Amino acid sequence: MSTGRVLVAGVGNILLGDDGFGVETVRRLREHPLPDDVELLDVGVRGVHLAYQALDGYRLLVLVDATARGGGPGTVHLIEPDAGPVEVPVLDGHRMGPDAVLALLGTLAAGTGGTLPERVLVVGCEPESLDEGIGLSTPVAAAVEEAVRVVLRIVGAEELTGAKADLQVERETTAW
């Protein structure tokens, strides 16, 4: 059974440059007051952990991640992935990105009795570089504050923080 809880999960590998965007955004969100029903989770590269955590009866799952969608580096996207039928990926605990987690949720829920999130949103940022190295590129580092504002608006914390962000959701039928 779903609750009113919201899970905001920062995804990515901080050792691959801009892939650490989701982790950094969640770190910055910790500096803001949030509604009591919002949980922040630094997932990093632990996709299997995210998959099982997401089945804990959340009303909303917000994934924050680097997303290459053809825009300029630092462009922030708000995406609502299609919940339609998807091919379940081969399980690889070391390479299980958010798209694989979402594809696997239905199967895991059936096998564990877990509850799927009612809605999933992705706050993504166009990376400039995913090369080995610690630290975000200049345009992606600058986009973290915009992503924080978007997440705060999504979770209803804008009145607590004064954050303002225009939200335009992109519907997506393919992996991001």
Q: How many residues does the chain have?
A: 176
Instruction: Tell me the C-alpha to C-alpha distance, in Å, between residue 50 and each of 64, 104, 126, 129.
Output: 12, 11, 22, 24
Residues contacting 28, CB < 8 A, separation 6+: 144, 145, 148
Average pLDDT over residues 28-50: 89
Place 157 in a pLDDT band, splitting at 50, 70 and 90.
Answer: low
Report the pLDDT value the prediction gives residue 166, as an integer from 0 to 100: 54
- Average of pLDDT values for 53-58? 86
Cβ atoms of residues 44 and 14 within 8 Å: yes
Q: Which residues of the chain form beta strands (DSSP E)?
A: 6-11, 38-44, 60-66, 76-81, 119-125, 169-172
H-run or E-run covering 95: none
DSSP 3-state assignment of 164? Answer: coil
Residues 88/109/30/37 CA torsion (nearest 10 deg): 150
Across the chain, mean pLDDT equals 81
Distance CA 12, CA 41 (A): 12
Phi then psi for 3, rounded to 5 degrees? -115, -175
* pTM score: 0.81
pLDDT of residue 131: 94
pLDDT at res. 175: 43
Contacts of 162 (CB under 8 A, 6+ apart): none
Task: Name the percent of the chain lying above pLDDT 70.
Answer: 76
Q: Which residue has the higher pLDDT, 166 or 152?
A: 152
Distance CA 14, CA 141 (A): 13
